[in-house]
Structure 1
Amino acid sequence: MRTGADDLVAALQELGVEIAFGLPGVHNLAIWEAAAAAGLRLVGVRHEQTAVYAADGYARATGRLGVAVVTTGPGAANTLGATGEAMASGVPVLVVATDIPSTLRRPGVHRGVLHETRDQGAMFAPVTKTTVTCDAADQLGAETVRAGAVALTPATGPVYLGVPTDLLSAPVDGDRPAAPAVPPPAPTPEADVARALELLATARRPLLWVGGGALRSGAGEVLGRLAEQLAAPVVTTYNARGVLPPDHPCLAPGLAHVPAIGALWDDADLVVAVGSDLDGLSTQNWAMPQPPTLLAVNVDAADANKNYPADLTVVGDATAVVGQLLAGAPHRAGLPELRERLARLGSRVRELVAADEPQAAQLLDVLDRVAVPDGVLVADMCIAGYWVAAFGRIPGPRALAFPMGWGTLGYAFPAALGAALAGQGRTLALVGDGGFLFACGELATVAQEQPELTVVIVDDGGYGMLRFDQVHSGTPTRGVDLVTPDFVALARSFGVPAESVDGFGPEFEQQLTAALAATGPNVLVVRAALTPPPSTSPRWYRRQGPR
């Protein structure tokens, strides 16, 4: 007998899903049974929030759909922080959550059924692209495909799929109904492309400002060629780090939070913002001046214009639109001079980092020498993570995952679990001691699944970024100095190899090299306290208030 759960799992496989993450509960056990029967790998984690973080890490590493399977009520509610991060960062994640049996639901009445909420789907509305609630077992396969397709359609993002638990065991027969088609995007108007080419032809100092939408589109190759053709510098946001290779002649060596790189924006007479909403974190809360001319390329015109009004918005997929611009853009002289200018700028940035925080310079140098070139680096919102996300050499697209969409602490370790199980090469998680404790129970999952994962825990005795905020503002430090375990003993208690070092010097390099060359998971604890980088808000050099 075929059941609703069988159709749900078959639909996930139709969407290309090979691995999902979840936590079993009394209402969703039928999904686990159906997944096992169909050969869909369902990895059991230790908290529902980490199920979504793992799905997020998997999706960022691969570009494919990440899936989390959780149970009703509190299980679903536990995912909201992670789902919000996926929404803010445009990550295609499908949260499959069971709900109370449809036979026990009375519209508008909270009856006190186990795990019942008044409207479970409504909890997800602010943090998803859309919510889908299935009300018939024979529609479950089609609704699953539809929900997954919406998550994968640009602009990508998370989708909630609610399933009354009784539908999972209900019998279904006949052919599974086809999912309703997702409407194709409207074609990009040729007149807008022609007008964009006019702007490029008259610009004397163009700048390409590249956001996460361009990376998710896979636009790196055509963006690199357009930048070279225009002899234009490229500044990326956090979510676009790695869109161009680190040795690309047009790539600025860091974020715009450094005055020397921010000056590229100030000097431009035309800014071409590709796949970016020019958010507050990238623009120091919109303290960067409005460019003389702003050309936006985005799949969503409203998203492109909500912060800085564009003189022209070309609506369409970044790869397709940039390819059209490349075909008609002028060939400008000056590429060798730009390469030399950015090389000098790179030297200045490295000198700034070394003078500002020598330990950060050591960390960046070691990672540049020993990190696995085809792996994934997942950084948390810890001070070391900020330094690496802003100034590290990211070898390629999808090689860095950083939660600067919503800014959720405790992201990196469980997200790295998902990235490591994606089979994209060895994954390196860079976490703080405070953030690691958000999900330290996932050491059990690591021991269970044996991913190719190295976790570097930078231990400064608490929430170092928040401690800096308090000291910087002249207030007493409260709530930031933490009692923490012996992390090495903790990891080893789960059977995960672990070592510790002091600082980021030669011993750190030796230990990290060995950890990355090993098979299976391991942990390296680094006792070090760093000063936050200029990319963090207390140190922004543009101090204008929010607009």
Structure 2
Amino acid sequence: MSQTGAQRLVDVLTELGVEVAFGLPGVHNLPIWDALALTGIRLIGVRHEQAAGYAADGYARTTGRLGVALVTTGPGAANTLGAVGEAMASASPVLVIATDIPSTLRRPGTVRGVLHETSDQQALFAPVTKAGFTVEHPDAIAPVLRRAARVALRPQSGPVYVGIPADFLRQDATDRDAFEPTEQLHVVAVEDIDRAREVLASAQRPLIWAGGGALRAGAGEAVGALAEQLAAPIITTFAARGIVPPDHPCRASNPVHTPEVGALWDEADVVLAVGTDFDGLMTQNWRMPQPPRLIAVNVDAADAAKNYPPDLLLQGDAREVVERLLAGMPMRPGINALSKRLDEIELRVRRRVRKEEPQAAEFLAALAETLPDGAVLVSDMCVAGYWVGGFYRFAAPRKLAYPMGWGTLGFGFPASLGVAAAGAGRAVCITGDGGFLYGVGELATAIQENLPVTVVIVDDGGYGMLRYDQTQAGLPHTGVDLATPDFVGLAKSFGVYADRVDGFGRAFRRLLREFTRADEPNVLVVSAELSPPLNTSPRWYRTSG
């Protein structure tokens, strides 16, 4: 029985285990929507293509599986670029499937003015994707999609673009898949493992730095066990929050941007870096000193060495390499002393937060006391989101989605739709009044799909972070104070229940507890102005390299 290209496409998505896709229909991609209606894949229609990209990213971060965004030709595809750039910077496996103009209307080397035509749609995505493919024949739809999915999910994961001429979706398509050998990860030599184990065992003050690659590889348990063997503190990047449980004796709960935690780095004589590239945000633009000895574990040798050159590189899967290091590692004394010191650091940092920004301390305490088990926090680029990303305690991995790869304002709300659709727990979006307005139309998506998301809008009347920057520089407030709507009335106009409180006190706690245990989407607006935490660049304590 013959199939159309659209039917082959959805068959491959089913074969790949895709359960949810996000998209926006257009004249060129409607056959995909028709074909998906006959499958078990849940298709969530968003109100803007960028939201499809963010939602697919949120889904991928929460589940570790492939996130899928379906968009139409030209401007529809281009609208996803900001979201795809964030997915690329954060190594999220997102598959963007976009239609292109019909092949019969394309004339090589000439832009003829066909509806939605661009000279090279795939090239638009080149700077913000891991790879890109354009289907050249209907029979190639299935093999190209399979290959694209493999590339997106293969470490280091990332977004991949697939373009399909619109006429191929209605034409007959067979499956001419070609054999592709499975790529094997680099296997670390026994002598390199032995050498690294020897260096770590002889260290006086070892430290483990765990990044997003460690989380994506599922290396948390191995990292935690190795830290206990070495009596080494564990510092995590934003991407690796929750990789070890809150009660782990070696976990440094607060960000390295606090002087108390930063001292652990400064004192270390050997650092084991697992799945990280030491980006500027985490290292205060590389003002942290190069450690005396650095051992890097990474699937990508160039990624591991581009910022802090390692003395020894162990190229391979993070979990496998750390497990091999752990085998035969002697137990180093000092775990009780380390645990006591980390508790003292925790106490000092908490006192600092209460002293410097008591509202933030109240906000974080309210979240800890009221959020239901399993809730996933999705932070936008806003001051409240920075506090969550840096100082909230996550009990498990993949419970934070935070746009600190590329830093895209407007990520929070649409990404929370993908988190909510994943079924991994209530999505709780922390956003500001400015960032929320980027995707406000997705309130229609949330209510139409009945997605379990609570949006907490911290309304300070503008771009609070930029306002802080201008104040610190002694400049007048220009462009940062915004006219904002009645968010409660706006949400209710979409049929979404909403309420407003002042500050993060008892009323906030009561409503947050109620809202996050509801079955439907809702919006909680908080009138409050927070000062930024130490993990934002204007407050970095390191001033020189």
Same-fold call, TM cutoff 0.5: yes
Q: What's 2:432 paired with?
A: 432
SS of 2:520's partner is coil
Check the 8 A contact 2:257/2:541 in 1, yes or no. Answer: yes
Deviation at 1:184, TM superposition (A): 2.1
CA distance in 2, matches of 1:506, 1:249: 32
Check the 8 A contact 2:201/2:230 in 1, yes or no. Answer: no
CA distance in 1, matches of 2:137, 2:195: 49
Q: Does 1:334 align with 2:358?
A: no
Q: Within 5 A, what are the aligned runs for 1:308-323?
A: 308-323=308-323
Q: Does 1:230 align with 2:230?
A: yes
So what's the TM-score if we normalise by structure 2? Answer: 0.99
Check the 8 A contact 1:145/1:179 in 2, yes or no. Answer: no
Q: What's 1:170 paired with?
A: 171
Q: What's 1:144 paired with?
A: 145
Deviation at 1:216, TM superposition (A): 0.9
Check the 8 A contact 1:146/1:179 in 2, yes or no. Answer: no
- 1:345-370 C-alpha deviation (Å, 9 max, x unpaired): 10111101101100000011111111
Deviation at 1:191, TM superposition (A): 2.1
- 1:483-509 C-alpha deviation (Å, 9 max, x unpaired): 111000011111111011000011100
Letter in 1 for 2:268: A
Letter in 2 for 1:236: T
CA distance in 2, matches of 1:348, 1:450: 43
Q: Does 1:15 align with 2:16?
A: yes
Q: What's 2:289 paired with?
A: 289
Check the 8 A contact 1:500/1:526 in 2, yes or no. Answer: yes
Deviation at 1:181, TM superposition (A): 4.2
Letter in 2 for 1:108: G
Q: Percent identity?
A: 62
CA distance in 2, matches of 1:364, 1:299: 35
CA distance in 2, matches of 1:474, 1:319: 49
Q: What's 2:377 paired with?
A: 377
SS of 2:272's partner is strand
Q: Within 5 A, what are the aligned runs for 1:333-412?
A: 333-412=333-412
- 1:472-525 C-alpha deviation (Å, 9 max, x unpaired): 111111111011110000111111110110000111001101111211111100
Letter in 2 for 1:49: Q
CA distance in 2, matches of 1:163, 1:330: 55
CA distance in 2, matches of 1:181, 1:361: 53
CA distance in 2, matches of 1:366, 1:513: 9
Q: What's 1:531 paired with?
A: 531
Q: What's 2:30 paired with?
A: 29
Q: What's 1:268 paired with?
A: 268
SS of 1:519's partner is coil
Check the 8 A contact 1:146/1:181 in 2, yes or no. Answer: no
Q: Within 5 A, what are the aligned runs for 1:6-85?
A: 6-85=7-86
Letter in 1 for 2:531: T
CA distance in 2, matches of 1:340, 1:507: 36
CA distance in 1, matches of 2:154, 2:512: 39
CA distance in 2, matches of 1:422, 1:400: 14
Deviation at 1:188, TM superposition (A): 2.1
Deviation at 1:244, TM superposition (A): 1.0
CA distance in 2, matches of 1:43, 1:431: 22
Deviation at 1:182, TM superposition (A): 4.5
Check the 8 A contact 1:100/1:114 in 2, yes or no. Answer: yes
Deviation at 1:180, TM superposition (A): 3.1
Q: What's 1:131 paired with?
A: 132
Which structure 1 residue ranges, 5 or more long, are not aligned?
none
Check the 8 A contact 2:6/2:170 in 1, yes or no. Answer: yes
CA distance in 1, matches of 2:392, 2:272: 24
CA distance in 2, matches of 1:208, 1:70: 41
Q: What's 2:92 paired with?
A: 91
CA distance in 1, matches of 2:190, 2:207: 23
Q: Does 1:494 align with 2:499?
A: no
CA distance in 1, matches of 2:458, 2:542: 29
Which structure 2 residue ranges, 5 or more long, are not aligned?
none
Check the 8 A contact 2:186/2:299 in 1, yes or no. Answer: no
Check the 8 A contact 2:201/2:332 in 1, yes or no. Answer: no
- 1:1-60 C-alpha deviation (Å, 9 max, x unpaired): 411111111111111101100000111001101111223211100000000000000001
Q: Does 1:243 align with 2:243?
A: yes
CA distance in 2, matches of 1:287, 1:472: 21
Deviation at 1:425, TM superposition (A): 1.3
CA distance in 2, matches of 1:23, 1:181: 35
CA distance in 1, matches of 2:182, 2:81: 25
SS of 1:405's partner is coil
Check the 8 A contact 2:372/2:516 in 1, yes or no. Answer: yes
2-11 or 455-464: bigger deviation: 2-11
Deviation at 1:109, TM superposition (A): 1.1
Letter in 2 for 1:491: A
| TM-align CA RMSD | 1.0
Letter in 1 for 2:199: L
Check the 8 A contact 1:242/1:397 in 2, yes or no. Answer: yes
